[in-house]
Structures are given as C-alpha cells and as structure tokens.
Amino acid sequence: MTDRGGVLEIWGYRELIGRLVQRELGSRYKRSVLGWLWSMLNPAATLAIYALVFGVLLKFDPPRAGNGRFDNFALYLFCALVMWNAFYGVITGAMSALLDLGSLLGKVYFPPEAPAVAALLTVLFQAAIEASILMLILICLVNVSWTFLLWPVLLLFLAIFALGIGLVLSVWNVRYRDVGYLSTIVLQFLFYVTPIVYPLSLIPERAMGLPVRDIIRLNPLSQFTEASRELLYGLDWPGVLRLGLMALISLAVGAGGWLMFKVRTRDIAEEL
Amino acid sequence: MGENAVVVEGVSKRFRLTLDRPLSLKEAWTGLRPGSGRSFRRVRSELFWALRDISLEVPRGSMYGLVGRNGSGKSTLLRVMAGIYRPTEGRVEANGRTSALLELGAGFHPALSGRENIYLNASVLGVPKSQIDDRVEQIVEFAGLEEFIDSPVKIYSSGMYVRLGFAVAVHVDPEILIVDEVVAVGDEEFQLRCFSHLESLRSQGVTIVLVSHDLGMLRANCDQMAWLNRGLLAAVGDPQDVVNAYLDTIDTEGAASVGHRPRSDTEGETPLRITNLEFFDGAGHRPKSFASGDPLVVRIHYSASEPVEDPVFSLGFYDHNNLHLAGPRSHVDGFRPGKVDGEGWVEFRLLRIPFRSGAFHVNAAVQDSDASFLYDRRAREFWLQISGEPDPQANGLLNLEGDWRAGV
C-alpha cells in the first residue's frame, strides 16, 4: 500500500488481475453447447463472411504470399483482422470492465487500472489463439520465416497503444455513457478506414481532392495491420524505422492514456 | 510510525454535491442544460465538507471505536482510512494490510458465487491464492453458508451477505481491520461470534477500527474512542468520557426539543400532564449517576388541570439500544393514587438497581383509571446513568440476585 499508483502496485495486484482474467474466460461461453469452440468459431465466421464478400464477390486481389507460390485473400485478411480484433477487444473490454467492477471500488481499494489490465490480458489470450491458428495454416502452406518471431512484439505494441486509448475512454465512459455509444460508431468507421478488408493499394491516390491513401496510411492502426501482413503473409521486414516509429507511438499513447487515467481516477470511488 | 497502526493528520474531505451533473457530453461541453423554467441554466455543483480537520492516532493492536449520529462522517472517515477515498486535505498513514468491511457484502460481485467471491475478495486484499485455499472451508463454516457457497451471492439474504463479508474480512490475516456498523445486520448469535472473533483478533495484535451505535459494547471493548459530530472531531480518548460526552448532548438536545414537541399523543389539551422526572438515591439526593445495586427513587411530577380519579402511572426502562427492560405500572402493582388535582408527584421506589453500568432512558406515561386512555407520555427524554467499571466477568444487562447451590 505504500507505493500507490505505480507500475509496481499493479504488479502487486497480479493475483486480482489473474482472478479477473480467469473469471472473464471462465464465464465466457457458459451455458453453450459448443463452449470454448466459440472462441474459434466466432473469428472464423467473421473471417468467412469478409472473405466471401470482399474476396469472392468484390474480387479484391491479394498480393502474392511471401513464398511466391500462392495468393489467398482470406489469409491476407486474417493477418490484419487479428490485429483489429485485439484493438477492438482491448478498447471495449476496458470500458465495460471498469463499469462492471467499478462498484467494488467504493468498498475496497484496488488500483483502478486492474480491470482494464485484466481485459487486456483476456484479449491477448484470444489474439494468441487466433494468431496460432493463422500461423499454423501458414506453416502448413510453407509460408514461414523468421519474421513470425517479430509478430508478438508487434502485438505488444498494439496492446499498449490500445490500452492507452481504452483507459481514457473507460474513465470518460463512467461519467458520460455517451462515450460508449459514440465509440462503437467511431470504431466502426475506423474499421473501414484501416486496410483490413482491402489492400491499401486498392485505395486511390487522390479522391475528393484529398490524398486519401496517404491519410489512411497515416492512421496508426494501418501501420499495425500492414506490418502484421508483411510479417506473416509477405514474410517481409517492416524496417527498423517503421518499427521504431510504431513503438514510439504506442508508448506515447499508452503512457499518455495512463497518466490521464491516473488523474481522472483519483476520486473515482465517489463517482461510481 | 512504529506504534500507531493508523495516523490521520488534519484530514478534511470535501464532496462535490453535483446537483446538476452534466449527464451528456453536450452539457459538459456547453455547461448548459435546458431547464424546465428558464430556457438555460448553468450546471452547478455545491461543495460539502464531510470531514473537517480530523486528527487521530490508532495505536497498533488496539480497538478503536467511532460514534456519532447518522451523517456525521463516520463512514467517510473509515473510507479515507481504508484508502478508498482520497482526503481533500491532510494525510492518512495506514501501516499494515488493511481489510475493510464497509457495507453489506463488502466487495462482492453479485453474479459470482460465494466461493468465487471469497477468492475475488482475497485477491483484492492481496492475499495469495495458496493461503486462501487453506482458509476457504474455515470462512464458509464461520459464515454458516455450507449449502449456498456455490450459488451466486445475488440470491443471498442480507444476513448471509454480512456473514460472508465478515468471515472473509477477518480470515485474510488483516493487520488493520475496519468495520462499519454492518455487523448489526446479523442475528444475535452471529453478532456474538463476531465480537468474540474481533476480540481474539485483537489479542493477536490486529488493530480494529469499529463504528457502532451500540455504545455499551464500544465502551466495554474499546481502548479508545472518537466522537464525530457533523464532520468535526467532538471528543477523542477514553471510551467512558467519550460515551458520556456523547450521551450528554443527546440528553440536552433531546430536552431542548421537548418544548416544540406535542407532549401528548392525544389531540389537543390534556387534563393530566407529566411535567418532570427526577431520580433520587436512598439519601434523597439527586446524583449525576448511580451505582448498580444502589437504591433508586423515580419521582414522576404531574400537573392536572382538572381532577382525575385514580390515574395509572407507568414507567419504562430502556437500554441505549432501546431494548425494553422493565415497565412497572402502578395499577398492576396495586397502587391507586386516588383523586389527583393540581401539581403533585408519585414515586416508584427500587431497593436495588438491577441494571449493570450504562446509560438507560426512562419513559413515563399516565393513563386513565382503567388504562384505556393515554393522558400524557414522555419518551426518550430522561436518562439514568449507571456508572462503574463494566465487570468483564459479568454478562448481560441485569444483575439477578440469585444464588447457586449444588446437589446430587
């Protein structure tokens, strides 16, 4: 209790965080016949729908895979979708976790970050499952390289980036529930201005007098989804400069979000 | 730092009573809200000081009692001590792992089962899982919830909530235990177990901070007490002194309000009034407090505006928890005062006061001759103080003057 508010404190509450993760994972898919299979069926279904609509019907053309032997839109899509799912999961998870556990904050003390961190870990667990399946398929197709090893690092950066945003949104959401509704809309928009269901090359250089492709490229999320595709599908190195930039952005957003969260949650026990 | 478990230094706590809290981003942004009367109204808030400049020290291993009326800031102070609220001014230092039982089902999540909540609570308090594994059965047994422990706590009764909350709070090896007046929800048997458990925790060196309205219990068990009055520290120190000071204000405030209160439960003017109650000892003096076993004379002064034939006078003795202890009535005891008119008094004489130490309030009432019509009643105004060290060997409220024998 002496070091209140530091990273060390959150570490001190790892038991609580572990329990929250366990609870989240345990209660998921309760009372369903297929149970845990849903955690794979769900992303698989999403993937199938997008692949059908954008790959088969709209005929978006994926580039050739890194080994030069095939091209497959579903896999190309999957590489980016894993990233997006993690981003989306962390943000919505952080928001609902604080609301859900907030009532406890008025009765016992624990770091208010704990629910969000637990949500983050839950999402990372899910992302790890999805990524393992994806990598397994790619390995079966002999599309594999050392670049795979860099992918977890990329996911970590994305997690920090998303957590920073999620923390800020979650604390605003306690005050104004509008934030929750608003962010679903914004996230929906974000999904389509990030190259996930389409390759970036499909976007025209200019539209409505604006350099749209460059604008979309500047979206930090695009960097993550594109880098994920390069690492897993294209077996390509994103380059030190780009990786460094992504690291910098995610650390800045993560730290900034955390600081804002700290200031805003000093009296959160009274607000919830 | 060594000898104090909790140090509260100049702590003030201010709340923002948001009368018109902005409920949406638009209002927060513009600071305006469409009002009902005028077209726009500023969103405003009011500041409220729940605690002002509180300083106290809770010695390690002691039991510390907090008293005060409702809304005097007791629970806020406990929350500040437990680190849940941040003091607006001043600082709080808690040296040791703090476990707090602040309200029904301290930190329970309604959708989880009792067992899961035990683990959740323990982890919130930073107790490792391995340690709790060993304790779970003990906790369940203490709470008496063997049948329900795997059901979600939202189906629990309030008594079950409190029992589980208390059981968890005391079984996680706290160094400082903060207990709000929640324990009172449990049944008597459980309360007894709680207090004996608190007692044994204290003997193990656990510091206990306790809020209760049970003044007798606090005075008998606490090492020190503090009295909060409207967010200010009104008295602090020896339990006897604090309780007496607290009771004094209740007494005087009660007396002060008499003038504004209708004295009679009956409508309008009553022919017979009780004007005062006096307590005398055997020598005809009126001491501030009596000793258990002393003689006692309760004199009921009346004033009759018209002659009343054989009214029935009655008294009611209550302890500080409003438990009705005795209710002597004149006609039951075979006493008939005859015709009363004008001013006068009747007396109830007691050879030996059977009550153990504490504050008791004495009600008085007067009725017509067949006790069917109430002329006047005075309740919770007159306090009888029985002083003396509470005998730790003695249980209960009364001394029964019996003797013991053996036989085969």
Q: Are B225 and B239 in contact (CB under 8 A)?
A: yes
Q: Tell which of B198, B229, B249 closes a domain.
A: B249
Residue B44: CB atoms within 10 A of its CB come to: 12
Tell whether B236 and B275 lie within a shared domain. Answer: no
Identify the CA nearest to A108 among candidates B184, B36, B125, B174.
Answer: B125
Phi-psi domain of B399 (left: phi exceeds 0; alpha: psi -120 through 50; beta: other): beta
Tell whether B347 and B280 lie within a shared domain. Answer: yes
Of the ranges A5-14, A36-45, A104-113, B65-74, which one carries the lowest mean pLDDT score? A5-14
Any domain includes B80: yes
Q: Are B5 and B207 in contact (CB under 8 A)?
A: yes
Q: Give the CA distances from residue B115 to residues A192, B120, B122, B146, B386, in Å, rounded to whole numbers and listed in that order.
A: 44, 9, 11, 10, 46
Tell whether B230 and B355 lie within a shared domain. Answer: no
B86 interfaces chain A, CB cutoff of 8 Å: yes
Q: At what angle do helices A220-232 and A240-264 cross, to 10 degrees?
A: 130
B365 - beta bridge partners? B314, B377
Q: At what angle do helices A73-105 and A178-192 cross, to 10 degrees?
A: 170
- CATH code of the domain covering residue B313: 2.70.50.60
Write the DSSP symbol of residue A210.
B
A176 interfaces chain B, CB cutoff of 8 Å: yes
- pLDDT tier for residue B374 given thresholds of 50, 70 and 90: confident
Tell whether B378 and B308 lie within a shared domain. Answer: yes
**Nearest-angstrom CA–CA distance, B356 and B398:** 5
The pLDDT assigned to A260 comes to 92
What Rg do the C-alpha atoms of chain B give, in angstroms? 26
B398 - beta bridge partners? B355
**Nearest-angstrom CA–CA distance, B396 and A2:** 43
Touching A: B residues 105-124, CB under 8 Å:
106-107, 109, 111-112, 116, 119-124
Minimal C-alpha gap between B68 and chain A (Å):
21
The pLDDT assigned to A90 comes to 95
Residue A78: CB atoms within 10 A of its CB come to: 28
Provide the H-helix boundaries in A7-105: 7-12, 14-27, 38-50, 73-105
Tell whether B87 and B213 lie within a shared domain. Answer: yes
- pLDDT tier for residue B124 given thresholds of 50, 70 and 90: confident
Identify the CA nearest to B47 among candidates B70, B81, B19.
Answer: B19
Tell whether B244 and B261 lie within a shared domain. Answer: no
- pLDDT tier for residue A18 given thresholds of 50, 70 and 90: confident
- CATH code of the domain covering residue B98: 3.40.50.300
**Disruptive mutation site among B20, B48, B124 for chain A (greatest number of A CBs within 10 Å):** B124
Tell whether B354 and B268 lie within a shared domain. Answer: yes
Any domain includes B403: no
Asked whether residue B256 carries a pLDDT value surpassing 60, the answer given is: no
Strand B4-17 and strand B46-59: pairing?
antiparallel
Any domain includes B208: yes
| Mean of pLDDT over chain B | 81
List strand residue ranges (DSSP E) for B18-45, in order: 32-34, 40-42
- Tell me the residue range of the domain where B195 lies: 60-249
A214 interfaces chain B, CB cutoff of 8 Å: no
Looking at the structure of chain B, the number of domains it has is 2
- pLDDT tier for residue B230 given thresholds of 50, 70 and 90: confident
The pLDDT assigned to B267 comes to 43
Give the percent of chain B with pLDDT over 90: 17
Angle at A97 between CA A91 and CA A101, to 5 degrees: 160
Tell whether B166 and B287 lie within a shared domain. Answer: no
Q: Per residue in A21-60, pLDDT tens?
A: 888 887 777 777 777 788 788 888 888 888 888 878 887 8
**Nearest-angstrom CA–CA distance, B100 and A31:** 35
Tell whether B188 and B288 lie within a shared domain. Answer: no
Asked whether residue B251 carries a pLDDT value surpassing 80, the answer given is: no
Helices (H) and strands (E) in chain B, counts: 8, 19
A109 interfaces chain B, CB cutoff of 8 Å: yes
B76 interfaces chain A, CB cutoff of 8 Å: no
Any domain includes B16: no
Q: Per residue in B145-155, pLDDT tens?
A: 888 888 888 88
Tell whether B223 and B304 lie within a shared domain. Answer: no
Q: Are B169 and B100 in contact (CB under 8 A)?
A: yes
Tell whether B225 and B274 lie within a shared domain. Answer: no
Element (H, E) at A117: helix A114-140
**Disruptive mutation site among A24, A108, A171 for chain B (greatest number of B CBs within 10 Å):** A108
Tell whether B344 and B365 lie within a shared domain. Answer: yes
For residue A262, give every residue at least 6 positions away whose Cβ sits within 8 Å of its Cβ, in sequence order, or none: A5
The pLDDT assigned to B32 comes to 53
Q: Per residue in B169-178, pLDDT tens?
A: 888 888 898 8
